[in-house]
A and B are shown apart, each in its own frame.
Chain A
């Protein structure tokens, strides 16, 4: 299995709703990421989990709450979002968080899911 699976593919939620985005991978990757992508812009990093521990939070508002229950799953809990939070949310995974210039580097890469299109109304 060489895929990152994200559910749901589309989500419409009100500003008072609570919802969750899910991401799953079975490649044995120990680093997982959430990216946010606005229309016509590149993806921007939100969170990084390394070995199920949060290692990077790019100053993301607390209405976004990540969770990594195990090495294969990554969730993003949403609460009290604003219309400007509407975007494509991408999950990614990678083998390791630190690149080493050895033979393993040839296998290094980030695998992205197809994303969740979120609309906040």
Chain B
């Protein structure tokens, strides 16, 4: 079954520094992959998604992600982090007939000023 793993539970970066959040997937074929962000007490907001084609995907809020089949990864990046980016980030993959969105365990991002 398709699954995603987020190795980092908690990451702290300084404002203005670059960011990379890791996501590894387990699936034989090319998966559909999503990144969501969740601010405290809020719902989930879609940052970006990958289906096929160009492996570098641009999202909202200045985020991008790169699909690397050789590494089974779909890491999220941002060149310069803002304090408002502090949140929980989830990588996700549809499973089965895409009726179930399965999430990674999440990475909590803390931004220091």
Contacts and interface: CB of A to CB of B under 8 A. Distances in A.
Contacts of A6: 43
B63 interface: no
Given A90-B44, A111-B46, A101 B99 contact: no
Interface stretch (B19-27, B64-72, B75-83, B101-109): B101-109
B44 A117 contact: no
Contact of B32 (A40, A50, A99): A99
Contact of A113 (B43, B51, B102, B105): B43
Interface string A53-82: 001100000000000000000000000000
A99 B98 contact: yes
Contacts of B106: 40-42
A34 to B, nearest CB: 12
Contacts of A33: 101
B34 A97 contact: no
A56 B104 contact: no
Interface residues of B, number: 24
B45 interface: yes
Contacts of A117: 41
Interface size class of chain A, counting residues whose CB lies under 8 Å from the partner chain: 20 to 34
B84 interface: no
Contacts, number: 69
A50 B102 CA distance: 18
Nearest to B53: A106
A74 to B, nearest CB: 14
B45 to A, nearest CB: 7
B90 interface: yes
Interface in A62-121: 88, 90, 92, 96-99, 101, 105-106, 108-115, 117
Contact of A101 (B52, B102, B104): B52
- Interchain residue pairs A-B with the least CB separation, the first 6: A42-B103, A114-B43, A99-B98, A112-B44, A112-B43, A115-B43
Interface of A: 4, 6, 31, 33, 40-43, 45, 48, 50, 55-56, 88, 90, 92, 96-99, 101, 105-106, 108-115, 117
